[in-house]
A and B are shown apart, each in its own frame.
Chain A
Amino acid sequence: MLAQIITLAICNGSIYALMTIGLTLIFGVLNIVNFAHGEFLMLSLFSAYWLTTLSGMSPYVSLLIVVPVFFLLGVLIERLLIRPIIDKPFVAQICSTKGLSLIMMNASLIAWGPSVRTVRANFAKSVIQFKNIYIPTTHIVSFIIALVALGLLFYLLQKTYVGKAIRAVSQNAISAQLAGVNTKQIYGLAFGIGIACTAGAGVIMSPIYATTFAIGQTFSSLAFLIVVFGGVRSLTGTVVAAFIMALVEALASFYWTIHIKDAVMYAVLLIILLVRPTGLFGSKRG
């Protein structure tokens, strides 16, 4: 039974990692906390829902449409709403992204109502058995896709010119600019990539989680928790924290009850912050 729980938690961890890494990337590069992060996730869940319902395609195929579209959406939103508030006091940043979050959430409520929707993948009910561990096929597929996506992201950041430019801007925007990096372009790209990752996570979550207009709030707070736990600017920290939090969540639900799992996860976060105020992989930066 425990092996079963841990295996599922690892699958969830990979999804959480992909879901959160965009938030870390955007904060690291643009120095902005995106309060609308969960709403982008919600919107991608709805996109997957409508694509599968209306065209009958598999949610995993809809990745090919949703991810590029959300990348462009991210670039557009950065240009319109985020760029004016970069370098502004953080009150402005909170208001701008929180405002965006309110608009997206309530637009979704107005457009699609409060009802709960689920995406049906064609193998939704199939289960893979390994000894006495049963894992839904959707979890396995999502796990693999999440790992591939994370791998691609890390490859992009480590090995390509664009990735190096993004990392340079996150280290020091002015020096990067002096070295010939177009920081404005990088801000747009980083925001777009961050949103694209989130959208990817949304799509692979869609066969597993029910979709409502308010789901963004739930996952926002989970994502924030993971980011802070991992040490706000560290991508590796985010991935590690995502797996730890998924484990904590699973064990708390298993040994206690599912209603109290959030409180347990926050308690774990608080303990870490008491020991390391900057999170697991965090370092102070002025």
Chain B
Amino acid sequence: MGQDAKKAPWIVLFAALLVVPLLISSPYFQDIVFLVYMQAILSVAWNIAGGFAGVFSIGHSIFFGVSAYTISLMSKHYGIPPLIGVIIGIVLVIAVCQTLGRLLLRLQDMFFTLATSAALLIFYHSTPYFRNITGGWSGVSLGRELGIINLAFDNPVWYSIIGAMVLIAVTLLSIWIKNSKTGYYFMALREDEAAASASGVNVQAYKIRALTISAIITAIASAIATGHIRQVSPDFAFSALRSIEMFLFTIVGGIGTVAGPLIGAFLLTPISEFLRVQFGGRIAGLNQLIFGVVLIIIILRLPEGLVSLAWHRRRAAKHNKYVKAENAKINASCENPAYKVQDEVLEKVLKESNMEVQNPDDDCRIEVTQPKSPVQEKADKLLCVAGISKKFGGLQALYDVTFDVYNGEILGIIGPNGAGKSTLFNVINGFIKPDSGTIKFLGSPITGKGPHKVFEAGIGRIFQHLKPLRNMTIVDNVKVGAFGLTSDRFKAGRLAKEALERVGFSPNRYNLLPGQINVLEQKQLELARVLAGDPKLILVDEIMAGLKPEEIDEVVEILRGLSSQGITLAIIEHRMRAVMKLSNRIMVLHHGRKLCEGTPADVVADDDVVEAYLGVTLEESQKAAWGSDN
């Protein structure tokens, strides 16, 4: 739908990029066109790491410089033609990128950013130190022989044409990445690393991948610029200003969008060049000062960049349409049976509230239907947890916890606050390495494997504190989970919609952002994202928290539905009635130890459990316990 209409402006832009250099005869303006193309390529490159994946480097000139120096030094010392040097340069840049990435990505995001700028300074200061090789501060020059093999052309228009072709290629690459599995994984890890890794994203590997793609493009741009300028010095190669411009242009245009870096570079490069020429001699630094002001104004007033000006209009139009549709629905709601049901529920609640007024938060609405399916006698073990212990400093969070989850069952895990329930999930999920013990899933060990591996093995996770990917639409959120199964984006889209249907998410709200939906829908969204990856077991952590009684009914129905479709569930829950009705078996944790395990009836009657919850034994508390529970 509208694919051609979407493509048209790009085709026009690409044609213009190729034609404009041919129309310009003035060498000065030709240079500016070339500069604009270079800055645009660099900004697009930066945006792939910094914008899509949130790998925010301000040391990208490292990659530019390594490529430039490789080309010129290879040519000078070994007589290797620059065109071959480009390839060697790219290989070296990849090596530098892998090394830096592995070392620096261990740091928190802000300190990663700092470290990249520090790393750039090392390159900048140490290059001239090896004067014999690098030619010191004045640098190395490239030969003047013409020919593509030397990256040398007599007519400067060729540089612009090559620049245009590369720019078109990287823009297409950027569009492709944005819609591909890789792009979705980049955006997912940018939004929330824990959620991303629990949805199958190998966070570290994808961060390095983003950095590498970005670095390779930077290296190619550097090769063209080196061919054009033919003199490589530390100030040209490892320029701190270029690193700043790369992210500045992107942010002004619109970070994380395809068009943003292009808009930023097309707009700001000529302005910057004009300021430099006009005031460079008399007022050095004026252009950078103005950059500083622009940066602050944009980030305070228009944090999504110039691109968002266009969106706001489009979004406003969409929103108006949406509001109209909703209003129409509300008007028609007298006829809508769903609303009738809601009214009935409301009446019922009002009636019952007279009787139960002493305990308004009680989950009385769970009384519903369906005898629970008995645990199959010969059910096979899906998950075997054996002897898991974990200490945090002096706190024994888990002590020798052993239990099994059987295929097809619903296992309820209960226990007072701080009993170690969420820690147990974090250990199974791979977020925390246990001090001892083993976890087997489908017979193969998963102990100590990263969350994305655990997801791949078939274990999904719903977090107690919901982790929606805030800047991605509902359906895009779910697609991240679906990309665990397929790399095909259309198939992923289908899987995502199926998953949303399975949890009963209303189809006309697929394109909203997580901030625009209610709590129940957010929980459905988390379930759908996990479901899209086709898990065998889902670890559900307090999904009922913060829901109204009728919403709890709905979630119980959804969970029962999933269970009947063959998905095994392990649920941590404080809503006792819900968990007792839902679970085939219950396990009780207390102070990090397993207190008991059994059918809901057994567990409720267990003395230890009662004592853990009430501080007194069953007999002492019989009245109180049954009184408040029934």
| A interface residues with partner B (beta carbon < 8 Å) | 33, 81, 84-85, 88, 90-96, 98-103, 105-107, 109-110, 114, 213, 217, 221, 224-225, 228, 232, 257, 259-260, 262-263, 266, 270, 273-274, 277
**A92 to B292, Cβ gap below 8 A?**
no
Residue B129, interface by CB 8 Å: yes
- Determine the chain A residues whose CB is within 8 A of the CB of B283 once the complex forms: 110
- Determine the chain A residues whose CB is within 8 A of the CB of B326 once the complex forms: none
* Cα–Cα, bound, A91→B46 (Å): 13
**CB-CB under 8 A for A103 and B289, given A96-B296, A110-B284:** yes
| B interface residues with partner A (beta carbon < 8 Å) | 56, 58, 103, 106-111, 113-115, 117-119, 121-122, 125-126, 129, 240, 244, 251, 255, 283-286, 288-289, 291-296, 298-300, 303
- Determine the chain B residues whose CB is within 8 A of the CB of A91 once the complex forms: 56, 251, 255, 299
**A228 to B303, Cβ gap below 8 A?**
no
* Cα–Cα, bound, A88→B298 (Å): 14
**Which A residue sits closest to B297, measured CB to CB?**
A99
* Cα–Cα, bound, A260→B131 (Å): 13
**A105 to B129, Cβ gap below 8 A?**
no
A78 to B: closest C-beta gap in Å: 14
* Cα–Cα, bound, A228→B114 (Å): 9
B497 to A: closest C-beta gap in Å: 30
**A95 to B295, Cβ gap below 8 A?**
yes
* Cα–Cα, bound, A95→B292 (Å): 8
**B296 to A221, Cβ gap below 8 A?**
no
A283 to B: closest C-beta gap in Å: 10
- Determine the chain B residues whose CB is within 8 A of the CB of A95 once the complex forms: 251, 295-296, 298-299
- Determine the chain A residues whose CB is within 8 A of the CB of B115 once the complex forms: 224, 228
- Determine the chain A residues whose CB is within 8 A of the CB of B295 once the complex forms: 95-96, 98-99, 102
**B125 to A259, Cβ gap below 8 A?**
yes
**B289 to A102, Cβ gap below 8 A?**
yes
**B286 to A110, Cβ gap below 8 A?**
yes
* Cα–Cα, bound, A101→B114 (Å): 14
- Determine the chain A residues whose CB is within 8 A of the CB of B240 once the complex forms: 217
Contact of A273 among B107, B117, B288, B294 (CB under 8 A): B107
**B129 to A259, Cβ gap below 8 A?**
yes
**A266 to B119, Cβ gap below 8 A?**
yes
- Determine the chain B residues whose CB is within 8 A of the CB of A260 once the complex forms: 126, 129
26 A–B contacts, CB within 8 A, in A order: A33-B113, A90-B56, A93-B110, A94-B58, A94-B110, A95-B295, A95-B298, A98-B295, A99-B291, A99-B293, A102-B289, A102-B292, A103-B296, A106-B286, A106-B292, A109-B285, A221-B117, A224-B117, A228-B114, A257-B129, A259-B125, A262-B121, A263-B126, A266-B119, A270-B103, A274-B103
A227 to B: closest C-beta gap in Å: 8
- Determine the chain A residues whose CB is within 8 A of the CB of B125 once the complex forms: 259, 262-263
- Determine the chain B residues whose CB is within 8 A of the CB of A109 once the complex forms: 284-285
- Determine the chain B residues whose CB is within 8 A of the CB of A90 once the complex forms: 56, 109-110, 113
A84 to B: closest C-beta gap in Å: 6
**A114 to B284, Cβ gap below 8 A?**
yes
B213 to A: closest C-beta gap in Å: 19
- Determine the chain B residues whose CB is within 8 A of the CB of A85 once the complex forms: 299-300
* Cα–Cα, bound, A101→B298 (Å): 16
- Determine the chain A residues whose CB is within 8 A of the CB of B106 once the complex forms: 273, 277
Contact of A92 among B109, B244, B303 (CB under 8 A): B303
* Cα–Cα, bound, A103→B58 (Å): 17
**A106 to B296, Cβ gap below 8 A?**
no
Contact of B292 among A33, A94, A103, A257 (CB under 8 A): A103
* Cα–Cα, bound, A276→B338 (Å): 58
**Which A residue sits closest to B291, measured CB to CB?**
A102
- Determine the chain A residues whose CB is within 8 A of the CB of B284 once the complex forms: 109-110, 114
- Determine the chain B residues whose CB is within 8 A of the CB of A114 once the complex forms: 284
* Cα–Cα, bound, A217→B108 (Å): 22
- Determine the chain A residues whose CB is within 8 A of the CB of B107 once the complex forms: 228, 273, 277
**A266 to B118, Cβ gap below 8 A?**
yes
**A106 to B288, Cβ gap below 8 A?**
yes
**A102 to B121, Cβ gap below 8 A?**
no
**B299 to A96, Cβ gap below 8 A?**
yes
**B114 to A103, Cβ gap below 8 A?**
no
**A221 to B244, Cβ gap below 8 A?**
no
**CB-CB under 8 A for A98 and B244, given A92-B303, A263-B126:** yes
- Known A90-B113, A91-B299; further 12 A-B contacts with Cβ < 8 A: A33-B111, A33-B114, A85-B299, A88-B303, A90-B109, A102-B288, A103-B296, A217-B240, A259-B125, A262-B121, A262-B125, A274-B103
**CB-CB under 8 A for A94 and B113, given A102-B244, A228-B107:** yes
- Determine the chain B residues whose CB is within 8 A of the CB of A257 once the complex forms: 129
- Determine the chain B residues whose CB is within 8 A of the CB of A224 once the complex forms: 111, 114-115, 117-118
- Determine the chain B residues whose CB is within 8 A of the CB of A105 once the complex forms: 285, 288
A51 to B: closest C-beta gap in Å: 24
**B122 to A266, Cβ gap below 8 A?**
yes
* Cα–Cα, bound, A99→B109 (Å): 19
* Cα–Cα, bound, A84→B110 (Å): 18
- Determine the chain B residues whose CB is within 8 A of the CB of A259 once the complex forms: 125-126, 129
* Cα–Cα, bound, A260→B122 (Å): 9
**Which A residue sits closest to B117, measured CB to CB?**
A221
**Which B residue sits closest to A108, measured CB to CB?**
B285
* Cα–Cα, bound, A99→B119 (Å): 20
**Which A residue sits closest to B51, measured CB to CB?**
A91
* Cα–Cα, bound, A114→B281 (Å): 12
- Determine the chain A residues whose CB is within 8 A of the CB of B109 once the complex forms: 90
